[in-house]
Amino acid sequence: MEIPLLFLAFVVAFIYTVAASIRNSRRIKSLERDIRELKMLMARGATVAAGTAPVVAGGQAAPSVQEAEAVEDASAFQADDTPEAVDTQATAEEDTGAADSPISAPAEDTVAAPPPKESFESLLGARWAVWAGGLALALGGIFLVKYSIEAGLLSPAVRLALAALFGLLLGGAGEAIRRKAVPGIAATYANAMIPGVLTAAGALTLFGVVYAAYGIYDYIGPASAFVLLGVVAFATIGLSLLHGQALAGLGLLGSMLTPALISSTTPNIWALFIFLTVSWMATAAAARRQSWTVVAALATAGLGLWALGYILASNSVDANPPTLALLAMIAGTIWLWPGKHLDNPPAPRDDAQPERRALRALRLLTRPSLAINLVVSLAAVLPAMAFLFSSAAINLHPAIPVAAILAALAALGAARHYGAWPAIFAALGAQAAASLMARHGIDFIGLIENTGVSLPPAQTGYTAEIATALLLGAVLILCGFSFLKRSGKKDPDFAILWAGIAALFPVWLGTASFVEYGNLGRDWLHAAYGIALGAIMIGGAEWLHRQGDAAYRTPLNVLLVGSFAAFTLSLHTLTQGLATTVLLSVLGFAYVWATRYRNWDALPWIMAIASVGVLGRIAWEPTIVGPQNLGTTPVFNALLPGYGIPALLAVASAWLLRDWPGFRARNFLQAIASLMALLAVAILIRHAMNGGTLDDSIPTLGEQSIYTLLTIGFSGVLMTLDLKSPSPVFRYGSMVAGIIAILNVLSMHFVTLNPYITGENIGRLPFLNLLLIGYLLPALAYGGLAYYARGRRPAGYVSILSVAGAALGFAWATLSVRRFWQGENIAAWKGFMQGETYSYSVVWLLIGVLLLVLGSRFNARSLRIASAAFVLISVAKAFLIDMSNLEGVLRALSFIGLGVVLIGIGLFYQKILTRKPQE
């Protein structure tokens, strides 16, 4: 305890000594600032008076109001008897006299004149010379000491004393020159001031003297060296108030390196972090006084790196000092610097030209004090995560310091308008912490025992982990509501961000805690947590609604989505399987029912999210209850409520929202309700057709035909709904369903499941067999759908339906001919008979004639084109196949019949085309 007390005594003495200098400096700077404003006002007033003021005796312009006020303000400073004030006042009076002269530049020239570009002579002589001179002084002192050592002229003690005296003389010379400096130099050469350079050289010299006395010659012990280096560092930071931010950075560097320069076999961790914290506070106070940002960010980074290095490099970690130091750093950022000085809400946006979301987000993350904002976040989060990755023995459960640091960082994000990055890092860090402790399998008790360090035993079980996750979730939602209440109206973009954090991350934390540490069977703790979260978010949404401000519209909807997520978490902690799937859709429907009382935009979308969640659960486990628990009874099994109830609720939701002004949500719900209804029927068919089992086996032709018929019927239902209640979902959905059915026909009916290719038996009955359900019924369904779509859907779509029906009819007739000749099995390996080959020509010609009649009857050009196609196929078959395969009378009959039919078709077309106008 000797080192901290001695150090604190020196700090108090130093602060007391420098206080007077700070007060005088503040007063002098205030006077100089007021004098500069006075000169600007008087110059501006004289310029205006030269052109507009009346002329009095003697040719002098009458003083303007601004001049009178400026002169009156200038007289107030005459009471100050300090030399700096007298010199500054004399300079102001000279400038005032110059401004009062009748010869003055026009007002526009005075205001708009750009600042003159600095000449090469000024750069070379006024800046580079100063920098080079300061470096030369520092090197000169070092070389002088080196020469004295090599020559053996002086003893080490004398050399150190002379070097210390040289450093003090440099600092004194810098202060003397600063007091005598011409006022205009400070503004022109702010980063090349001779006093600051001399003071920096003196500070470096003193740093070297103290370290040499400790590390080289061993004249002083570690405690004395620590205190002396700290005093030099703090003195340098204090003098930076007079000489600028660069000197503050030098003092900060010295203070941060001081602990590293002093080695000890028994380091005092408390003394280390007390010193670092006081150093950070001193730097922040100087930064607040001078409005510095770079040096404050460097101080924060240095403190964070010390904490990170200590946690990762030590064999045993005392978590209290670094945690308290980081908490002090965050608290200082909230109240000391930047504190409230940069806590300004953004300028209101022009609603007529809203910004793009990406630009708004970029502006949110690049607000003033970005350097401090981002560095504080990293300096807090990285040591917090280091507690979880460290292999050292820790005297506290890591959850305690992690929770404390992240909660404080979240408080910073909620307390200040510039705290976007702390808010984001606090939320992400909390989520990472909730999972890392379990995923990395950290055995804290084993680590403590293996190090041989006597520390309090860490807790066992997952109590601390669960408490940390749920507590951090509560902190985030508390901070979110705090910001919404305090500054939500003034900062809409940040309000949206905090609403998102409050809605998403507490639920995410609860979910991670439940999955990693909870009871997956039934967990009442996490269930209560989710219910409480959902109730709080709904209450918050109602509170925002009653505020009646447009800025709260998006945060309100975000909180609603978060409440649904919270209730969903509770649902999964208490139920499983069928109950979870059904209750999830019931929960979404409750939000739709709430549209009868509130017109919140998110309400219908929550039902859409719930339906997507149900579909996700179905994709994960199509049987809902598991294959071993699924009954084999067709229709009446777990699939009926598991698929049917969500589908019915989705349909009911779409009906309730038929007059909802948000057409996107309404259309989406209509689409997903249609999909779920089709899926429910299809899965029941699949279950029934496969003997009460659901697997990934390829369906038979009969089963696939049912799906095709179902999709065709679904297209017709959507078309009917569109006629009664026009909707783009029904309009385009009906056509998509028809196209899907056509793709099924092309891929499954004609190729994959074709009995001619697969060799599947088609049944003993001549007509009522597999070909009926696989080809003829879909052909009739397509024909009916094409007829129903005429005039209601695009002509191209209707033609596609007609051609699909004709193709299926052609396939049915062809395969029926083969079945007549070959029996139940019509596989390709059985070859062809002569009678079978002749029958194909006859049937194809009849199909062509039939299509021609139907096309003429319904004025369907697509059917007439299909008829021509079949006729061409028949002609090609006759000349390419029949001529070579048929013999005798069958060959003759084939060509005679073909000729008769072709002549009849030509005569038929001639009559049609002369009787009706050309299409």
Residue 409 CA to its chain's centroid (Å): 18
The whole-number pLDDT of residue 185 equals 47
Written as six digits, the tokens of 797 are: 């779509």
- Predicted confidence (pLDDT) per residue in 880-911, tens digit: 555 555 555 555 565 566 565 556 656 555 55
Neighbour-count burial for 379-409, b at 16+ CB within 10 Å, e otherwise: bbbbbbbbbbebebbbbbbbbbbbbbbbbbb
For the cut 70, the answer to whether the pLDDT of residue 64 exceeds it is: no
- Predicted confidence (pLDDT) per residue in 230-243, tens digit: 888 888 888 887 77
Mean pLDDT is lowest, of 11-20, 297-306, 601-610, 631-640, for 11-20
pLDDT band with cut points at 50, 70 and 90 for residue 562: very high
The whole-number pLDDT of residue 453 equals 38
Considering 35-44, 347-356, 432-441, 643-652, the range whose residues carry the highest mean pLDDT is: 643-652
Alpha-carbon distance of 312 to 316, in angstroms, equals 10
- Predicted confidence (pLDDT) per residue in 708-744, tens digit: 988 999 899 889 888 888 888 888 888 998 898 888 8
Over residues 482-505, the mean pLDDT reads: 93
793: left (phi over 0), alpha (psi -120 to 50) or beta: beta
The whole-number pLDDT of residue 60 equals 42
Written as six digits, the tokens of 462 are: 């997952």
The whole-number pLDDT of residue 303 equals 95
> Pick the residue with more confidence: 107 or 511?
511
The whole-number pLDDT of residue 429 equals 93
> Pick the residue with more confidence: 357 or 365?
365
For the cut 80, the answer to whether the pLDDT of residue 917 exceeds it is: no
- Predicted confidence (pLDDT) per residue in 172-201, tens digit: 877 777 776 545 444 444 444 567 777 877
The whole-number pLDDT of residue 483 equals 95
pLDDT over 90 percentage in the chain: 29
Of 604, 624, 628, 626, the C-alpha closest to 614 is 624
888: left (phi over 0), alpha (psi -120 to 50) or beta: left
Average pLDDT, the chain: 77
The whole-number pLDDT of residue 386 equals 93
The whole-number pLDDT of residue 546 equals 94
The whole-number pLDDT of residue 43 equals 64
Residue 553 CA to its chain's centroid (Å): 20
- Predicted confidence (pLDDT) per residue in 80-137, tens digit: 433 334 344 433 444 444 433 333 434 434 444 445 555 544 444 445 555 566 666 6
Over residues 161-167, the mean pLDDT reads: 80
The whole-number pLDDT of residue 96 equals 41
pLDDT over 70 percentage in the chain: 71
User: What pTM was computed for the model?
Assistant: 0.71
> Pick the residue with more confidence: 767 or 284?
284
The whole-number pLDDT of residue 261 equals 78
Mean pLDDT is lowest, of 129-133, 167-171, 345-349, 586-590, for 129-133
- Predicted confidence (pLDDT) per residue in 742-771, tens digit: 888 888 898 889 998 888 888 888 888 889
Written as six digits, the tokens of 63 are: 């003083």
Residue type, 714: F
pLDDT band with cut points at 50, 70 and 90 for residue 643: very high
